[in-house]
Structure 1
């Protein structure tokens, strides 16, 4: 039998390894639903971690945040996890457009 024990768990301590480089963001949209990230979920994002190929990241394109899977090869792209959305191929961004990786998603808390 499993039991639940209230031990006053501090989620910040449990889920955030780099407090000064981390934040919590709320998801808006459906582009990652096939990756089990849904509208209203909370994302723990760590900007101290260098993302690797196929990590889930938060990026900013022209100042607008997006959550996607990072593809580093064969070409740099942000891949949605919902077939209703198209990948964002970063080589197609114009010179006047900006792109920055904000951080890697380390944990997701689903909205009930």
Structure 2
């Protein structure tokens, strides 16, 4: 019989998920001009490759609408994630643009930092 200290399996240690949220203004009021979507998708693939190579998290997609696009990335360290992504984010020509580094889960009262691109 298992004692009170025995656990049927190892539970992963709870870790805080940080985020990098990059917001770019696109042309027009909707989903951007015709070539902007493909440029964002190409940049997103390059960002994922950089993030994977650095082993700092994952690029988790995007959201288009209202003349903007937001690229979402998550990992255990927002600063490390941003360092891996910064060259690719700055290479996108759409402005105005900014990045929010979120240091924890969205439901928590967490610190965030805004960086203009």
- TM bucket, shorter chain: under 0.3
With the length of structure 2 as denominator, give the TM-score of the two structures.
0.27
Structure with the larger RCO, 1 or 2 (CA within 8 Å, 6+ apart): 2
Instruction: Please state which structure has a larger fraction of its residues in helix.
Output: 2
Instruction: Please state which structure has a larger fraction of its residues in strand.
Output: 1
With the length of structure 1 as denominator, give the TM-score of the two structures.
0.28
